[in-house]
């Protein structure tokens, strides 16, 4: 299978917001399309390449969910386990009835420290804590505290970044292992990923891209996001790794087929995103596509996998808005079945 998009349409989408990043389409073991645009480092004019590591913002929520499900498979957690006994006296405003499943499915109703239902621009300075201190999971506790419950657990879907930070805390406390280590060993290594990692933004290796706020200029997101990503986002990926990830997931090398079936069982239709949601993964609204997506200051990302043909369509952008016209052009080429977060969509 190839995605039926003309070179002219793709060029127009790339030019619309000056896309900077990597676009790949992999079908089975064959790469049918590859475009590398812009610079990983604009000031030094270092180009993006197929092996450039780029932040996927919220794209690693699926990896957080998989780390949790590995603990479920190991008997250390259950989906109906209450979160309160694990948190103890921490985060007292989280309702006593919130379960692991509520957090995974964005139905916990807890107050969100990065509430996407509020007003604001993507490049706002949203953190009240020094960003250099937000390198380990427990350090996020002061940022997560003090937000009242929005609605009773299980009442409805409401996308919640804080819920996935709480999942990272839970994972650490029940396993006795650091969250970053858990994701590395229980997801990345099992899937054979070689370039994906939680990198510090103040200590990036030479093959990692800076995240740019705008189409032009050298302003990066260094002062906008935690110095190291965590349960709700910030992991860096390569396009190659994302195709490996989807294949490993479907082949049962990360979690069992029964566990995966539970994760991709549609729980909610989310009309505003033109997608459905399972547990940690977005789903095509009218087809079987599996989707990871992320949007943040200096990052715009989507990776879509079509299981029937083992096709992966990945757009990794290292600017806030640049990837969205490309993502949407490709979504339209796939009959508009996986549309989602586009800045000016009505």
Question: pTM, whole model, 2 decimals?
Answer: 0.94
289-304: burial string, b at 16+ Cβ within 10 Å, e else: bbbbbbbbbbbbbbbb
pLDDT at site 1: 52
pLDDT in tens, the chain (346 residues): 566 688 999 999 999 999 999 999 999 999 999 999 999 999 999 999 999 999 999 999 999 999 999 999 999 999 999 999 999 999 999 999 999 999 999 999 999 999 887 767 888 888 989 999 999 999 999 999 999 999 999 999 999 999 999 999 999 999 999 999 999 999 999 999 999 999 999 999 999 999 999 999 999 999 999 999 999 999 999 999 999 999 999 999 999 999 999 999 999 999 999 999 999 999 999 899 999 999 999 999 999 999 999 999 999 999 999 999 999 999 887 754 444 443 333 2
pLDDT, residue 335, reads 57
| In the chain, domain spans | 7-39+52-333
Q: What is the pLDDT of residue 320?
A: 97
pLDDT at 331: 86
CA distance 233 to 211: 14
Of 3.40.50.300, 3.40.50.920, 3.20.20.70, 3.40.710.10, the CATH number of 7-39+52-333 is: 3.40.710.10
206 is written with which tokens?
């030479």
């Amino acid at each position: 299978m190839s995605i039926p998009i003309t070179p002219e349409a793709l060029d127009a989408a790339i030019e619309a917001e000056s896309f900077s990043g990597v676009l790949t389409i992999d079908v089975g073991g064959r790469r049918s399309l590859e475009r590398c645009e812009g610079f990983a480092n604009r000031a030094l004019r270092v180009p993006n390449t197929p092996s450039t590591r780029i932040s996927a913002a919220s794209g690693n929520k699926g990896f957080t969910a998989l780390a949790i499900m590995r603990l479920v498979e190991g008997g250390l957690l259950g989906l109906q386990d209450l979160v309160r006994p694990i948190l103890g006296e921490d985060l007292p405003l989280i309702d006593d009835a919130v379960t692991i499943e509520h957090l995974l499915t964005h139905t916990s109703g807890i107050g969100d420290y990065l509430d996407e239902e509020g007003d604001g621009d993507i490049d706002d300075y949203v953190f009240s804590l020094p960003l250099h201190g937000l390198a380990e999971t427990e350090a996020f506790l002061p940022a997560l505290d003090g937000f009242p419950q929005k609605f009773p657990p299980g009442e409805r879907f409401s996308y919640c970044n804080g819920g996935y930070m709480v999942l990272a805390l839970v994972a650490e406390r029940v396993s006795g292992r650091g969250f970053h280590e858990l994701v590395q060993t229980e997801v990345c290594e099992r899937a054979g990923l070689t370039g994906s990692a939680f990198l510090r933004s103040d200590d990036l290796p030479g093959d990692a891209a800076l995240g740019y706020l705008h189409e032009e200029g050298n302003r990066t997101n260094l002062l906008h996001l935690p110095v190291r990503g965590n349960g709700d986002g910030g992991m860096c990926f390569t396009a190659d790794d994302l195709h490996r990830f989807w294949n490993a997931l479907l082949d049962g090398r990360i979690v069992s087929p029964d566990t995966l079936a539970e994760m991709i069982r549609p729980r909610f239709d989310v009309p505003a995103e033109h997608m459905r949601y399972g547990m940690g993964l977005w789903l095509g609204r009218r087809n079987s596509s599996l989707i990871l997506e992320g949007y943040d200051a200096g990052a715009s990302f989507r990776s879509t996998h079509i299981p029937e043909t083992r096709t992966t369509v990945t757009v990794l952008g290292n600017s806030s808005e640049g990837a969205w016209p490309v993502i949407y052009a490709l979504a339209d080429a796939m009959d508009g079945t996986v549309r989602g977060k586009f800045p000016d969509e009505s």
